[in-house]
């Protein structure tokens, strides 16, 4: 009578032994091919665009005792990137993003009249690069790996806009301010980037990447979008340039494919 009971216990033990490895040996998933979607709050130098804002403030706003138009110093870089592990420690990446920032202010010189001023910049950086991963730290089904890397960037569709819109102002004010206008400059340029951070893997296809990112991008000799002529910086008298360099903190959701 003890043999059937012993056989039952043996069957249960065998079943547990088959199921146990999937629980005990659960580990973080590291996929070879990944899609990373990231958002990066970043500083922006802005270069001659801030010089143009200073020139406008000094010549138009400050003499009227109004609050000046703020400079551009911060923006968000949104990026989609494909990351492929060539080896356990080396990953190649390529992606495209958008960096945009603007500043604006409305002035009300009189009843039913307004002066709207806006300055903005936009660029679409396309990058290729590589990252070297250090030895992992494992804790259960969690894995964290420090990495550092860098690469080349092409800043495409780069554009700056400075716009003044007048509404309901008298003829004297309209003549003093030069009427409504919109100045748009464009140019493309190469650059580079470097980053270092940590990539955290879990027992799923999703992982998280956090890093400090530095971008270098000096877009020189910007041209008027309408005429194609090189634009001159009113403050320095030199060809107009846009500097999109800056440090940022990258936060990425990574999907294993």
Note the pLDDT of residue 21: 44
> 103-116 as b/e, with b when 16 or more CB fall inside 10 Å?
beeebeeeeeeebe
Class of domain 26-256: mainly beta
pLDDT above 60: residue 18: no
Q: Which candidate, 18, 27, 5, 43, places its Cα nearest to that of 214? A: 43
| 127 has pLDDT over 60 | yes
Question: Do residues 53 and 67 lie in contact, with contact meaning Cβ atoms separated by under 8 Å?
Answer: no
Q: Is the dihedral of CA 141, 144, 145, 151 positive or negative?
A: positive
Q: Are 92 and 133 in contact (CB under 8 A)?
A: no
Residue 250: other Cβ atoms inside 10 A: 19
Report percent pLDDT > 90 for the chain.
76
Across 45-73, average pLDDT = 92
Please check the confidence at residue 235 and state whether its pLDDT lies above 80. no
| Mean pLDDT score of the chain | 89
At residue 22, does pLDDT exceed 70? no
- Ramachandran category for residue 223: left, alpha or beta (phi over 0 → left; psi -120 to 50 → alpha): beta
pLDDT at residue 53 is higher than 90: yes
User: Phi, psi at residue 237, to the nearest 5°?
Assistant: 80, 10
pLDDT of residue 234: 75
Please report, for residues 13, 17, 56, 235, the alpha-carbon distance to residue 20 in angstroms, rounded to integers and kept in the order given: 10, 5, 71, 72
């Amino acid at each position: 009578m003890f043999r059937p009971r012993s056989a039952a216990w043996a069957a249960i033990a065998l079943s547990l032994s088959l199921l146990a490895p999937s629980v005990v040996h659960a580990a973080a998933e590291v996929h070879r091919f990944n899609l990373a979607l990231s958002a990066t709050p970043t500083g922006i130098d802005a270069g001659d665009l801030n010089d143009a804002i200073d020139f406008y403030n000094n010549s138009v706003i400050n003499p009227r005792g109004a609050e000046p138009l703020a400079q551009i110093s911060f923006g968000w870089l949104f990026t989609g990137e494909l990351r492929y592990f060539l080896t356990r420690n080396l990953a190649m990446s390529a992606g495209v993003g958008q960096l945009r920032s603007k500043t604006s202010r409305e002035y009300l010189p009189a009843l039913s009249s307004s002066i709207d001023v806006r300055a903005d910049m936009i660029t679409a950086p396309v990058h290729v690069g590589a990252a070297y991963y250090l030895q992992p730290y494992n804790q259960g089904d969690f894995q964290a790996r420090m990495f550092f890397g860098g690469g080349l960037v092409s800043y495409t569709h780069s554009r700056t806009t400075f716009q003044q819109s007048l509404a309901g102002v008298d003829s004297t004010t309209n003549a003093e301010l030069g009427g409504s206008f919109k100045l748009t400059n464009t140019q493309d340029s190469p650059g580079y980037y470097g980053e270092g951070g940590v990539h955290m893997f879990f027992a799923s296809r999703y992982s998280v990447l956090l890093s400090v990112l530095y971008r270098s991008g000096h877009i020189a000799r910007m041209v008027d979008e309408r005429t194609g002529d090189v634009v001159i910086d009113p403050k320095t008298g030199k060809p107009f340039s846009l500097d999109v360099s800056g440090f940022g903190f990258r936060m990425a959701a990574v999907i294993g494919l």
